Amino acid sequence: MPDGASISERIARSLPALTPAHQRMAEYVLANPFRAATMRIDEFATAVQVSVATANRFARALGFDGYPQFRAELVRGFEATLAPVERLRSELERPTTAAEAFAASLDNAAANLEATRRALDADACERAVSAILAAERVYIAGFGASGFLSGLLQHGLEMHCRMVTSVAGAGGASHAARQLFKLSPADLVIAIAFPRYVSDTVVLAQRAKARGARLLALTDGPTSPLAPIADIALYAQAANRLSANSDANVLALIEALCGAVAHRAERPVKAAAEMTEFLLPWLYGPHAGNAGNAGTTAAAQPVASADVDGKPGADRRNPSKHPKA
């Protein structure tokens, strides 16, 4: 059998000569190639209800030296997708305490943060902040775990942008595409994608570029599918021992970006004070007043302290309506 033949080709050519048990195993592999690629020989044998020896003979019947070579061929093409699974398998094979697992995870996060800080591109940081503040509208695209990060980025930027929205919602990618249909060259799309990259994010980023919008990518490095199409890219080291990515480090990059935008924005302290005043009815504590009047309390309680832009402040209510006590 040709060495370059794929698993499916090997199975197709060998199927007529396979035993019933081997045929059952072949059908399982063809129906579940990814799942089979993640399995050790004992797991595979259990899944198809055969012995480990039978599973090894099946691999040899397909022209492999044994099951390890068969599985290596199955994994081919799934390497990036399977990497977190293999890392998890490797980590779980080593005995450890809960406290050691905590410490290792925190050490991993600290290493990611330091690597990201060292690799910061000053020019890219400046361009990213300028693009956000100059945009007429900012759309944030991210799916999977990046969908949650998109919402946090929106939360951090909305005080300083004309309009910012996360397109990752209940309607899925097609609803996001409907929102991006309105894009213009004055708009900015921020796409968030890390291994394992979600294809919806990449496709939407490509469509956004086709509509003429600028694209800022938050991703893991130059090999990301977002990197070649982005006008600006900010990279975060996001390796994780037990899962696909370290979302903590991506969130740290998002917080850094929001902080830089706030630092550059016009009158950020005034904006923060006004938003805080508006939100008072929803904040827990004695200052919150009657939460039941959330729709009117903030408007009825003007600020009488020093003006946040540095000018002397005063209660600007009509004095005639507020006689002295």
Are 282 and 292 spatial neighbours (Cβ–Cβ below 8 Å)?
Answer: no
pTM: 0.62
Residue 122 has pLDDT above 90, yes or no: yes
**To which CATH superfamily is domain 120-266 assigned?**
Glucose-6-phosphate isomerase like protein; domain 1 (3.40.50.10490)
Asked whether the predicted pLDDT for residue 276 surpasses 90, the reply is: no
How deeply is 104 buried, as exposed, middle or buried, from its count of CB atoms within 10 A (0-12, 13-18, 19+)? middle
Determine the CATH number of domain 7-77.
1.10.10.10
Among 41-50, 51-60, 255-264, 266-275, where is mean pLDDT lowest?
266-275
C-beta of residue 281 within 8 angstroms of C-beta of residue 289 = yes
Select the more confidently predicted residue: 240 or 278. 278
pLDDT band, very low/low/confident/very high, at 135 (cuts 50, 70, 90) = very high
pLDDT at 130 over 90: yes
The three-state secondary structure class of 217 is strand
Q: Is 133 helix (H, G, I), strand (E, B) or coil?
A: helix
Lowest-pLDDT range, 75-79, 146-150, 172-176, 299-303?
299-303
Locus of tokens 């990060």: 149
Q: What is the pLDDT of residue 73?
A: 84
Whether residue 40 contacts residue 155, with contact meaning beta carbons closer than 8 Å, is answered with: no
pLDDT at 306 over 80: no
Q: What is the mean pLDDT of residues 219-245?
A: 87
Burial 234-257 (b: 16+ CB within 10 A, else e): bbbbbbbeeebbbbbbbbbbbebb
pLDDT attached to residue 283 = 83
User: How high is the pLDDT of residue 77?
Assistant: 60
Sign of the torsion angle spanned by Cα atoms 159, 163, 164, 167? positive
Instruction: For the chain, give every domain's residue range.
Output: 7-77, 120-266, 270-321
Identify the pLDDT of residue 50: 94
Kindly indicate the confidence band of residue 275, based on its pLDDT and cuts at 50, 70 and 90: confident
- In percent, how much of the chain has pLDDT > 70? 80
pLDDT at 319: 39
Amino acid at 202: V
Across 240-269, average pLDDT: 86
Residue 154, burial from CB neighbour count under 10 angstroms (0-12, 13-18, 19+) = buried
pLDDT of residue 268: 76
Specify the range with the lowest mean pLDDT, choosing from 16-25, 246-255, 268-277: 268-277
Cis geometry, peptide bond prior to residue 264 (ω within 30 degrees of 0): no
Among the ranges 9-23, 70-84, 97-111, 253-267, which has the highest mean pLDDT value? 253-267
Write the pLDDT tens digit of every residue in 77-121. 665 565 666 666 666 677 778 898 888 888 888 988 999 999 999
Indicate the angle between helix axes 98-118 and 247-264, nearest 10 degrees. Answer: 40
CA 201 to chain centre: 10
CB 87 within 8 A of CB 242: yes
**Mean pLDDT, residues 217-245 taken together:** 87
